[in-house]
């Protein structure tokens, strides 16, 4: 298949290119597009064949449900049974990186929800995503636009590398601001359960919800046969091809471990900015200042892809703390590392 590549600047949106991409979606095709979290691989959310095409293009198991992207929070009425807490959350966090699970309506085929009777809804804030969904005039089912098993794409070139030739079109809109996927919650009255941590933190959710529970799969390894609340959590995502090991210890202990390791083995290292001059290894990747969690989130997936390009036997990274935005970093890294943590 010949994939059409549109280069669109988020600052100056080319309406005719958006219209062309929207027409591809309306006629059952697939278009990858940037959002403020990561790139999404979109198809018409009301078309069961589009969902099948998405699963095929990604190589994704079809029991892993897709998030439906909407142009405004009120569009949820077309696809889901809403409630008062949904609208309070929408007022606080939409458009933005928050996905809410609600009971689904029949407009959404069960192929989109992996057979579940709930649907995940998100209203993105990225100007290209908003323009595209509005122009399509229908909800857009979109998982992250990577091949299953590789890190989510935070740059257009990542999508091109993974999906060129497999889908109808790719909108390259540059770098995604946040770089990690959306926060996903389910609701029970005004209690939220965090199924996937992201840029909307549990502290932020507490401004609207009475209580925020954290689903066990966010931080823990699931035992065999255990069913997570969010089906995607059972898959080993974002895995680089060399094994990733997370280092837990105080900053000096981690640094001296890395000193020794880089002399002894061919390792890639995801390090903090202040460590770059101290380590001086050709396989270092600077993921940002130690305390700048937003910068680290922005850099993480590109760093994992880059580490894959180094010909190394092992990759080391710091084990993030679990508070605030750190929980999202922890969740992505612990899964990429298949829960391999070394205390030093």
Q: Which does 107 bind (CB under 5 to 8 A by kind): Mg ion, ligand AMP, none?
A: none
Distance CA 6, CA 14 (A): 10
Residues sharing a CB contact under 8 Å with residue 24, sequence separation 6 or more, in sequence order: 4, 30, 31, 168, 169
Residue 5, strand partner residues: 170
Q: Which does 240 bind (CB under 5 to 8 A by kind): Mg ion, ligand AMP, none?
A: none
Closer residue to ligand AMP in complex, CB, 3/64: 64
Q: Judge whether 68 and 79 are in contact, CB under 8 Å.
A: yes
Contact between 202 and Mg ion per CB under 5 A: no
Closer residue to Mg ion in complex, CB, 92/116: 116
What residue is closest to ligand AMP based on CB? Answer: 232
Q: Is 313 exposed, middle or buried (0-12, 13-18, 19+ CB in 10 A)?
A: exposed
Give the nearest distance from C-beta 195 to ligand AMP in angstroms: 6
Closer residue to ligand AMP in complex, CB, 133/312: 133
Rg (CA), the chain: 20
Q: Which does 118 bind (CB under 5 to 8 A by kind): ligand AMP, Mg ion, none?
A: ligand AMP
Q: Which does 151 bind (CB under 5 to 8 A by kind): ligand AMP, Mg ion, none?
A: none
Closer residue to ligand AMP in complex, CB, 194/258: 194
Stretch of residues binding Mg ion (CB under 5 A), selected from 9-17, 136-144, 217-225, 273-281: 136-144
- Nearest CA to 75 among 63, 85, 87, 66? 87
Q: Judge whether 234 and 335 are in contact, CB under 8 Å.
A: no
Q: What's the distance, CA 327 to chain centroid?
A: 14
Distance CA 248, CA 297 (A): 19
Give the nearest distance from C-beta 235 to ligand AMP in angstroms: 8
Contact between 182 and Mg ion per CB under 5 A: no
What residue is closest to Mg ion based on CB? Answer: 144
Contact between 201 and Mg ion per CB under 5 A: no
* SS3 state at 21: helix
Contact between 144 and Mg ion per CB under 5 A: yes
Residues near Mg ion, by CB under 5 A: 144
């Amino acid at each position: 298949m010949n994939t059409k590549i549109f280069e669109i600047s988020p600052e100056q949106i080319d309406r005719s290119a958006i219209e062309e991409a929207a027409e591809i979606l309306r006629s059952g095709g697939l278009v990858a597009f940037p959002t403020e979290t990561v790139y999404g691989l979109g198809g018409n959310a009301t078309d069961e064949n589009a969902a099948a095409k998405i699963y095929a293009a990604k190589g994704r198991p079809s029991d892993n449900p897709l998030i439906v992207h909407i142009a405004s929070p009120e569009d949820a009425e077309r696809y889901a049974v809403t409630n008062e807490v949904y609208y309070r959350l929408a007022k606080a966090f939409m458009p933005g990186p928050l996905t809410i699970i609600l009971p689904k309506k029949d407009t959404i085929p069960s192929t989109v929800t992996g057979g579940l009777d709930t649907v995940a809804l998100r209203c993105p804030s990225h100007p290209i995503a908003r323009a595209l969904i509005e122009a399509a005039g229908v909800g857009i089912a979109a998982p992250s636009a990577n091949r299953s098993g590789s890190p989510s794409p935070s740059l257009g070139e990542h999508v091109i590398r993974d999906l060129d030739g497999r889908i109808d079109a790719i909108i390259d809109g540059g770098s995604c601001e946040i770089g990690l996927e959306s926060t996903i919650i389910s609701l029970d009255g005004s209690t939220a359960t965090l199924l996937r941590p992201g840029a909307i933190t549990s502290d932020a959710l507490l401004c609207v919800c009475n209580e925020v529970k954290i689903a066990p799969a966010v931080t823990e390894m699931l035992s065999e046969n255990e069913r997570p609340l969010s089906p995607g959590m059972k898959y080993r995502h974002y895995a680089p091809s060399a094994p990733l090991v997370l280092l837990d210890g105080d900053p000096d202990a981690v640094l001296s471990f890395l000193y020794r390791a880089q002399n002894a083995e061919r390792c890639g290292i995801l390090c903090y900015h202040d460590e770059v001059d101290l380590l001086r290894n050709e396989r270092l990747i600077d993921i940002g200042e130690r305390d700048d969690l937003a910068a680290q989130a922005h850099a993480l997936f590109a760093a994992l892809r880059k580490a894959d390009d180094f010909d190394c036997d092992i990759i080391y990274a710091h084990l993030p703390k679990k508070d605030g935005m750190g929980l999202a970093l922890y969740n992505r890294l612990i899964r990429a590392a298949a829960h391999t943590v070394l205390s030093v």
